[in-house]
Amino acid sequence: MRNLSSLLIAIKQRTQLTKVQEDLILNYFKYVEIEKNHQLLREDQFANKLYFLASGTIRTYYYHNDKEVTSWFYRENQFLSSWHSFINSEKSFEYIETLEKCTIYFITKQDYKKLLKADSIFEKFGRLLMEEQLAFIDYYFKGVLFMTAKEKYDLLLSYFPDITQKVNLGHIASFLGITQETLSRLRSLS
């Protein structure tokens, strides 16, 4: 059995756990190591897993007018899924891809629902996790609407300081909605 300490710490940041509740987590979450450039999810699949990224970097992306658009980056100690698909049981419009070798814990949607029903503390955890995701996404995207490219880049660096060492610059440019040339100029100003 793998050490679930980072997963347990992340859950305990949102709610307290007893030993019995920790054991429930051990029963439901599975551990995997996944190589770089592996797609955890593709467009038109159902997101039936909630992931916890213990180590590594992951991105989500989609296609718009046949152009690949990076929508988000995840780093270690974050929960992730294709949120729209996972919550609404609809097909995903995005892809989830590892950008480096990753250590991941995951729970299937079916087991996640069982865990939420098993103990009210997990229901609280699930609610807090979704509230956290919604609040962050709302704040981030409303904030970037009127920012310059430099301000967007600086904001990204404030959330993910070592992103340029872990992520292809083309993916970062796509996420920021700028060209790689513009990104190069911004990096030279920092």
Locate the domains of the chain by residue range.
Answer: 5-134, 147-190
Q: What one-letter code names the amino acid at 87?
A: I
pLDDT value for 4: 65
Q: Stretch 29-57: mean pLDDT, rounded?
A: 97
Give the pLDDT band of residue 18 (cuts 50, 70, 90): very high
Q: What is the secondary structure of 146-164 as a DSSP string? A: T--HHHHHHHHHHH-TTHH
Residues making up the chain, counted from first to last = 190
pLDDT at 121 over 70: yes
What pTM does this model have?
Answer: 0.90
**What pLDDT sits at residue 146?**
86
For domain 5-134, the CATH architecture is Sandwich (2.60)
Q: How confident is the model at residue 2 (pLDDT cuts 50, 70, 90)?
A: low
Is residue 188's pLDDT more than 70?
yes
Q: Which residues contact 179 (CB under 8 A, 6 or more apart)?
A: 173
DSSP 8-state assignment for residue 178: S
